[in-house]
Structure 1
Amino acid sequence: MMAFLNEDLVEKAVQLCLPSIRDVCAQHTWGPKGVVIAVMGKGMVCPYVHVMKELGDKSDWKTRWGDDSDFEAIALSKVNQAWNNSMSNRTIVGDFPWLLENGDTLYTGSACESSGLAVAVSGSHEYVDEAVSWVVWNVIRMLCLAKVQGLKDQGSYLVL
């Protein structure tokens, strides 16, 4: 069975997005110059996590940016909220707070459209985290659509 969404495709999407993400993080930050990106989707066993090298060593995050700077844990909380509820965590926190569970983050910054794909980012302002999430989400979508087109170009009408 062919899995459209897998870690290799997600890694390719993240690598395509990183130049823009670096520029955005350099201009729109409260301190850190990088983010953590977490992705969960249909066909993936566990979330994919990318920690930008600009964040430095994780053991220094608390000293550099304070007690609430475990960006990886926050990104994973955001992506799990989005994945489990099939909507961005901004929508959950702002419009459906009764969906929040113990341990959920109140920080927003994810992308999800009831589609079997959730992306979350942590490390910048919430509006930046959300924008970067949507950029990665859309590039993942584009790469999946390219796979569909490749199958059609080969004369296939079924995913094998």
Structure 2
Amino acid sequence: MSSRVVAGTDEMEALGRELGAQLRAGDLVVLTGPLGAGKTTLTRGIGEALGVRGPITSPTFVLARTHPALGGGPDLVHVDAYRLGNALELDDLDIDYDTSVVVAEWGHGLIESESSSGSWLEVVIARPEGAGDDFDPSDAPEEPRTVTITGFGPRWKDAFDE
């Protein structure tokens, strides 16, 4: 497990590029964090490192968006599992896990079993609490986030040990 404080949007994208440089076809990344934490911003950096067609925006209303590789690398499949009720609904999306890098927002406890290699990364993004129920992330100033990356399975064994 590795944790770091990320100061703002630019640093979150840079972390995504750093993470994306380590990813390959068949990798699964599960993103967890509250609304406005930076999950899509991190994914934007991952997509940049993978060299996929953009722009990368939240797939909230389409559930999954495939960004084709512009070069010889894997496609990026960006999933928003928030509205999915169970793994059967996830199967209906017909995601190609073996030849793509899959990044799933709100996928914790739902998508990990889809990893054919038995390996995945879990990225938890925490932002300061106390904004209240009427919090609108688009109005918030940039605040530091704590990002914790944990690797599971043989692919990521010891990769993010501090």
TM-score tier after normalising by the smaller chain length: 0.3 to 0.5
Structure having the higher strand fraction is 2
Give the number of the structure with larger relative contact order, counting CA–CA contacts within 8 Å between residues 6 or more apart. 2
- Between Structure 1 and Structure 2, whose CA radius of gyration is higher? 1
Structure having the higher helix fraction is 1
